[in-house]
Amino acid sequence: MKNFECYNPTRVFFGRGETDRVGQLCVQFGRRVLLVYGSGSIKKNGLYDRVMHALRSQNLEVLELTGVQPNPRIDKVREGVRICKEQGVEVILAVGGGSVLDSAKIIAIGAHYHGDPWDFFVDESTIPGKKTPLVTVLTLAATGSEMNHNAVVSNDETQEKLAVVNPAIFPDVSILDPENTYTVPRDQTVNGIADIMAHVFEQYFQPVPETPLQDRFAEGIMTTVIEYTPRVLAHPEDYDARATIMWCGTLALNHLLECGGEGDWATHRIEHELSAFYDIPHGAGLAIVFPQWMRYVVDAIPHKFAQFAERVWQIERNGKTDREMALQAIERTKNWFSEIGAPVSLREVGIGTERLEVMAERATQKGPLGSVKKLFKEDVLEILKMCL
């Protein structure tokens, strides 16, 4: 086990009806609220009205930033920062999935920075020591953004999709009300689940030995997601199924799993190129890339893949080598993504060979990727070709 720091100050309120707390939770920080949301699905399903009612019952003044897209853009963040500065926003309320939350996180620090918020993605030292208080209401189980210090934003001008990971951007409070995910369409539910599984893979398949409890926790999330996914797809309004997937999503990336290990984030980095160039859903890209990454790196940690085979997929030993166990588990993983309706090849999302080279180049421009096996441009290109 490696040394680590574990710190997560976000306060979570989880469960049915918790949404109605949002007014009280915001008012403790101030009266002038910037409500950040996406394409308007919250207006269709009634969540917008419910939130506005809660805010108005506390006499809060509400400004709005709407139209945050999946793979959120820095332009929208800039717009939010401008509103904060011009209007003296005292608290930001993000209602949505990872894209909305990530945008709001950057707005919250951008409001206290003199320059352009894209700077944070290029040079972490520009991140200010202060942020506008941030409350979130999650509507999609996927990114874990509700309880972590990560944010990913895209820049159309530079065709870059980059991440900030910094303690300055933990939400102060997050409301996780599983009923708010009842109306998430099937494909988005699946993409969210693929993202959750990917987060666990990235912290589980790592090179540091002797992280037994972390392994058990990761296996616990994977086993639970596999068990509950059919239920949530068959019955989108099954409270306990939605609640379970939601809590799995939060714990998959609140960095608990990573304590003591050395996560390998190569797949996320590779996928970010796919969604930067082709604007495909992040979860879909992950479902395509992950099984091929696994095949490519399997010989670096065959024992770990064999453990995954035994504990998560219940594949029996029967004299098989670690490698044989591993390959069977990887095949099962790919088939599982396919069974739940996620794409498992680039062809399925309309991506051909045209830009594989430039994506491989871009993914590795700051150096090789990964901790399990260092991946250079040629390695990434090979993995992308395996994804075709």
- For a second copy, the binding residues (CB under 8 A) are 1-18, 209-210, 212-213, 216-217, 219-221, 223-224, 227-228, 240, 243-244, 247-248, 251, 256, 259-260
Cβ proximity to a second copy, 115 vs 209, nearer residue: 209
Cβ proximity to a second copy, 39 vs 223, nearer residue: 223
CB of 258 to a second copy, least distance (A): 12
Backbone angles phi, psi at 162, to 5 degrees: -125, 165
CB of 79 to a second copy, least distance (A): 32
Enter the tokens of residue 74: 């820095």
- Residues in contact with 257: Cβ distance below 8 Å, sequence separation at least 6, in sequence order: 199, 200, 203, 204, 214, 217, 218, 221, 251, 263
Amino acid at residue number 318: N
Cβ proximity to a second copy, 22 vs 274, nearer residue: 22
CB of 221 to a second copy, least distance (A): 7
Cβ proximity to a second copy, 126 vs 223, nearer residue: 223
CB atoms within 10 A of CB 373: 18
**Cα angle for residues 106, 71, 293 (degrees, 5° grid):** 110
Cβ proximity to a second copy, 217 vs 293, nearer residue: 217
CB of 228 to a second copy, least distance (A): 7
Strands 61-65 and 32-36, how do they pair?
A: parallel
d(CA 38, CA 35) in angstroms, rounded, equals 10
Amino acid at residue number 183: T
Element (H, E) at 79: helix 74-87
Cβ proximity to a second copy, 12 vs 356, nearer residue: 12
CB of 267 to a second copy, least distance (A): 23
CB of 246 to a second copy, least distance (A): 10
d(CA 265, CA 158) in angstroms, rounded, equals 22
Tally the C-alpha atoms within 13 A of residue 74's C-alpha that lie toward its C-beta.
21
